[in-house]
A and B are shown apart, each in its own frame.
Chain A
Amino acid sequence: AQKVTQAQTEISVVEKEDVTLDCVYETRDTTYYLFWYKQPPSGELVFLIRRNSFDEQNEISGRYSWNFQKSTSSFNFTITASQVVDSAVYFCALRDAGNMLTFGGGTRLMVKP
């Protein structure tokens, strides 16, 4: 069965610090998709990135970057120069050959001014 683990339940940083959110996944399939979503205090879920299992290229989008490593089954998310607006709960999710989407427990990031 597929599983997603976000070991960090809460992280607190000071503005402008870099922060990495960890995501480790388990699946028996060779084809799968990984996602990151953001849930700000207002409660909605915002899509950030999708990565398929055949594309191990890291991605950068502004202050956000993602490091996908199949060898360690990890898909970590780094925010560079964090800002107060980055405060949110971040979820990592996995979809493999089955039809379900499995989420990790989430990491609450608090960025203090």
Chain B
Amino acid sequence: EAQVTQNPRYLITVTGKKLTVTCSQNMNHEYMSWYRQDPGLGLRQIYYSMNVEVTDKGDVPEGYKVSRKEKRNFPLILESPSPNQTSLYFCASSPNRDTEAFFGQGTRLTVV
């Protein structure tokens, strides 16, 4: 089954404790991206990747890192999480930047 898989689905952590949210897709898509969803703000793009080893900042990259060492994986790293990073996070992939995105099921992160 074609899918984008994020883990974990739910995470509660403390300020400053490094964490990684994994994202994997099995569709051989080139384009992958991360979004955060906050009430009233819709989804905002954090980082995106056009292909392996090619990543770039989106609208709200501060406090986040990503890597794209393999085509299928695109982890989101929070080196020192803060409470303002409490949000619902989505990973997405698409064959290229102009086609529709397939989204993962979301990761609800709470930083206390």
Contacts and interface: CB of A to CB of B under 8 A. Distances in A.
A21 to B, nearest CB: 13
Interface in A68-113: 91, 93, 95, 99-106
B41 to A, nearest CB: 6
Given A45-B90, A100-B58, A101-B45, A95 B100 contact: no
A64 interface: no
Contact of B59 (A45, A52, A95, A100): A100
Nearest to A91: B42
Given A44-B103, A47-B101, A101-B33, A9 B50 contact: no
Interface in A19-48: 33, 35, 37, 43-45, 47
Contacts of B73: none
B98 A100 contact: no
Chain A interface: which size bin? 20 to 34
Dominant secondary structure of chain B at its interface with chain A: strand
Contacts of B59: 100, 102
A50 interface: yes
Given A43-B105, A44-B106, A95 B42 contact: no
B74 interface: no
A50 B56 contact: no
Contact of A99 (B35, B41, B48): B48
B44 A103 contact: yes
B97 interface: yes
Nearest to B9: A43
A95 B44 contact: no
Given A43-B105, A44-B103, A45-B103, A103 B98 contact: no
7 contacts: A4-B42, A6-B42, A47-B100, A95-B98, A99-B50, A103-B43, A104-B42
